[in-house]
Amino acid sequence: DAGVTQSPTHLIKTRGQQVTLRCSPKSGHDTVSWYQQALGQGPQFIFQYYEEEERQRGNFPDRFSGHQFPNYSSELNVNALLLGDSALYLCASSKNGGQPQHFGDGTRLSIL
Amino acid sequence: QKEVEQDPGPLSVPEGAIVSLNCTYSNSAFQYFMWYRQYSRKGPELLMYTYSSGNKEDGRFTAQVDKSSKYISLFIRDSQPSDSATYLCAIGKGAGNQFYFGTGTSLTVIP
């Protein structure tokens, strides 16, 4: 039973560039949430996708956008990257947005 | 005011000790309470999930929720070096609503 998988594992970008991160949810799950975890901090909620629509959004600017595909996989896009966007980006999946959420190991994004 | 507060530690204990980890929260509407363990360079791993006040036990782990005080705890009995990790509390209102995480408590269990 495959858990939540994320790609790529690591990514290095420069300021102003755009990045796309990918997530495949755990088998049987239909809801994907994205989180940003800065070093030494807890995960901060970015948004949640269910039935291919953004259902809930945290306090993040419009530079952060997402998409969910019919197979429930999801992408996180970040435009006009800033140095402060350097973080671990985590994807979590669940059934119908409920609990518990299961996390992937994240994509570590470094902005130079 | 943050939705959830967690003492970041770090916490260092000898092997076999009982560990107590705690979080406080501000909104009485929160109904779901979780504890995650996160090893370095890994994603959070769910340890405990509770919906109501009271205690829930799973092996060496006990989660405790006191809604009247807006206080949750995780107890680890007979701590092992493999328990060394960062422990995150997470609190939320339920499906369709976001969950809030504490900053995490770093725990080291010394052999």
pLDDT tens digits, residue range B21-76? 999 999 888 888 999 999 998 999 999 988 878 899 999 999 999 999 999 999 99
Per residue in B78-93, pLDDT tens? Answer: 999 999 999 999 998 8
Q: Is A104 close to B99, i.e. CB distance below 8 A?
A: no
Chain B neighbors of A109, CB-CB under 8 A: none
Q: Which chain A residue has its CA at the smallest distance from B34's CA?
A: A100
Q: Is B102 close to A42, i.e. CB distance below 8 A?
A: yes
Judged against a pLDDT cut of 70, whether residue A13 lies above it is answered with: yes
The number of beta carbons lying within 10 Å of the beta carbon of residue A66 is 21
Output b/e per residue, A18-54; b: 16+ Cβ within 10 A: ebebebbbbeebbbbbbbbbeeeebbbbbbbbbeeee
**Residue in this structure with the two tokens 């996708």, named with its chain if needed:** A49
Tell me whether B41 touches chain A (CB under 8 Å).
yes
DSSP annotation of A105: -
Per residue in A34-90, pLDDT tens? Answer: 999 999 899 999 999 999 999 989 999 999 999 999 999 999 999 999 999 999 999
Q: Which chain A residue has its CA at the smallest distance from B104's CA?
A: A42
Length of chain A: 112
Q: Which of A105, A44, A91 is nearest to B104 (CA)?
A: A44
Model confidence band, residue A1 (pLDDT cutoffs 50, 70, 90) = low
Is the bond into B10 cis (omega within 30 degrees of 0)? yes
Q: Which chain B residue has its CA at the smallest distance from A42's CA?
A: B103
Tell me whether B104 touches chain A (CB under 8 Å).
yes
Model confidence band, residue B105 (pLDDT cutoffs 50, 70, 90) = very high
Q: Residue B8: what pLDDT?
A: 79
CA distance linking residue B76 with residue A9, whole number of Å: 31
